[in-house]
Amino acid sequence: MPHALLVSGSLGQGHDVMAQACADSLHERGWTTATVDAMALLGQRAGSAGELVFRRLLGLPGLYDAFHFSALRPGARIALLADAAARTRLVPALRELVAEQRPDLVVSVFATATSALNRLRADGGPGFRHLVLCTDVTPHRLWVQDGTDLFLVTSEVAACAVRRYRPDAAIAVLPAPLREPFYRPPGRAEARAEAGVPPDARCVLLMSGSWGLGPLARTAASLADAGPHVLAVAGRNRELEARLRRAAGRRPRLHPFGYTDRIPVLMAAADLVVTSSGDTCSEARALGRRLLLLDIVQGHGRDNLQHELELGHADVTSARPAEVVRNALAALERPAPAPSPGASPAGWRTGFAAALERVGL
């Protein structure tokens, strides 16, 4: 059977979601797959240091904005040096993996791995097709490297961003892939019964990525005090989960969750999804849920947020609890959209199948 290696990255959950979507589609076509974490391939010390640096960049207002727009976007020297340092560590690790697995296809869903894989091929490594999948509306310079066979993006704007660096690039524009449960979500009544939300209550799903960015505990408490039931998800942020559970002890309308695979149920139960910009937005649109976007993710998050607003049925707020509450209560009065075309698995699967055919697989 043909085999694919999927290269993800542990900076947030979104990369793993995209890798799993590719794996699901490949399995349906009779492929075997393996997924690896590029940050782990850097080595424990380098990978941990890289994640720490990224978290600190995001934690200081404006710092990651400066790095993204002044270094990553134009491909400034500092960004290329950082990529070269990572490539030095990744090429030997990837060479060993490729020699062991002999993949027919490698899909990069994480920018750090892209140049390393192309260098491996340029150095005469085993032959494989290399696809890059990026769901950002404006892929930065490190995503777009010479040697990639095909770039998979989810908007025409993103295709233009790729051509900025490679005018001759082969590009396929596809619907954003979803996790399998979002293609067959429960009904609203069933989801509410499972989540413990009354059938006629207003309900908000509040989340901000797997890291739980922003003052979510105070926001969740303020929202619940204002009347709606609040399904608040902390992701992998255990400290945030503990604060949510303490706040819920005095608020029966606040329902706290840590890291959970029940997001399709929680989203189906909600009238409004309050979240940061990212792949959660595609999931909410597939279920026909209105969005309130937290302007909290710097750099690529600013671009993605603007694109979501352009798509419609979305509003934006700062992460300050009082402003989130005010905007959420207003958004709850607005009509919900119909499920997006991405709610059907056919769009992504058909497009992905066509992409494989374009590269001879």
- Looking at the structure, tell me whether residues 150 and 223 fall in a common domain: no
Half-sphere exposure of 9 (CA within 13 A, CB side): 22
Closest CA to 232 of 209, 251, 204: 204
- Region of residue 213 (phi > 0: left; psi between -120 and 50: alpha; otherwise: beta): beta
Q: Please give the Cα distance from 294 to 118 (Å, whole number).
A: 36
Reference 359, options 132, 67, 164; nearest CA is: 132
Please tell me the number of Cα atoms within 13 Å of 327 on its side-chain side: 21
Establish if 56 belongs to a structural domain. Answer: yes
Same structural domain, 123 and 207:
no
Q: Which two tokens stand for residue 297?
A: 């993710």
Residue 83, in any domain of the structure: yes
Domain total in the chain? 2
Regarding whether 285 and 164 lie in a shared domain, the answer is: no
Tell me, what's the pLDDT at 275? 95
User: Residue 13: what pLDDT?
Assistant: 67
- Strand runs (DSSP E) across the chain, as ranges? 3-8, 32-37, 105-108, 129-133, 150-153, 171-173, 203-206, 229-233, 254-257, 272-276, 290-294, 314-317
> What is d(CA 115, CA 120) in angstroms, rounded to the nearest whole number?
9
Closest to 185 (Cα-Cα) out of 85, 112, 286, 276: 286
The pLDDT of residue 45 is 67
Contact of 122 with 99, CB cutoff 8 Å: no
DSSP, collapsed to helix, strand or coil, labels residue 257 as strand
pLDDT value at residue 54 = 66
How confident is the model at residue 122, as a pLDDT? Answer: 86
**Same structural domain for residues 80 and 108?**
yes
Structure tokens at 100: 């062991």
Mean pLDDT by 10 residues, the chain (361 residues): 91 79 92 92 68 69 87 93 90 92 94 90 84 95 94 96 96 91 91 94 92 86 96 92 93 94 94 93 94 93 94 95 97 92 84 94 91
Taking a C-beta distance cutoff of 8 angstroms, is the pair 257, 232 a contact? yes
Q: The domain spanning residue 68 has which CATH number?
A: 3.40.50.2000
Residues contacting 284, CB < 8 A, separation 6+? 267, 273, 275, 290, 291
Residue 195 C-beta-side C-alpha neighbours within 13 Å = 35
For residues 292 and 274, give the distance between their C-alpha atoms in angstroms, rounded to a whole number: 5
| Contact by Cβ (8 Å): 269, 208 | no
**What would the DSSP string read from start to end of 297-343?**
--THHHHHHHHHHHHSSEEEE-S-HHHHHHHHHHHTTSPPPPPPGGG
User: In this structure, is residue 117 part of a structural domain?
Assistant: yes
pTM for this predicted structure:
0.91
Same domain, 331 and 269: yes
The confidence score (pLDDT) of residue 60 equals: 73
231 touches 204 (CB < 8 A): yes
Look at residue 85 and give its three-state secondary structure: helix
Which residue carries 């709850």 as its tokens?
A: 332
Verify that 188 and 166 share a domain, yes or no. Answer: no
**Same domain flag for 100 and 198:** no
The answer to the question of residue 63 being in a domain is: yes
Domain range for 35 is: 3-173
Q: Give the whole-angstrom CA distance, residue 199 versus residue 314.
A: 24
What is the amino acid identity at position 311?
L
